[in-house]
Amino acid sequence: MTTATLAARKPSYTLRIYDTLAAGFARAARIEKTRRALNALSDETLRDIGLSRDEIDSAAARAVR
Q: Which pLDDT tens digit goes with each residue over 2-24?
A: 555 655 677 788 899 999 999 99
Better pLDDT: 5 or 43? 43
What is the extent of the structural domain holding 57?
Answer: 12-64
Whether residue 59 is contained in a domain is answered as yes
Q: Which string of b and e fits 18-36 if b means at least 16 CB within 10 Å? A: eeeeeeeeeeeeebeebbe
Whether residue 5 is contained in a domain is answered as no
How far apart CA 3 and CA 17 sit, in angstroms, is 23
Q: What is the pTM of this model?
A: 0.75
Segment 37-57 mean pLDDT? 97
Whether residue 1 is contained in a domain is answered as no
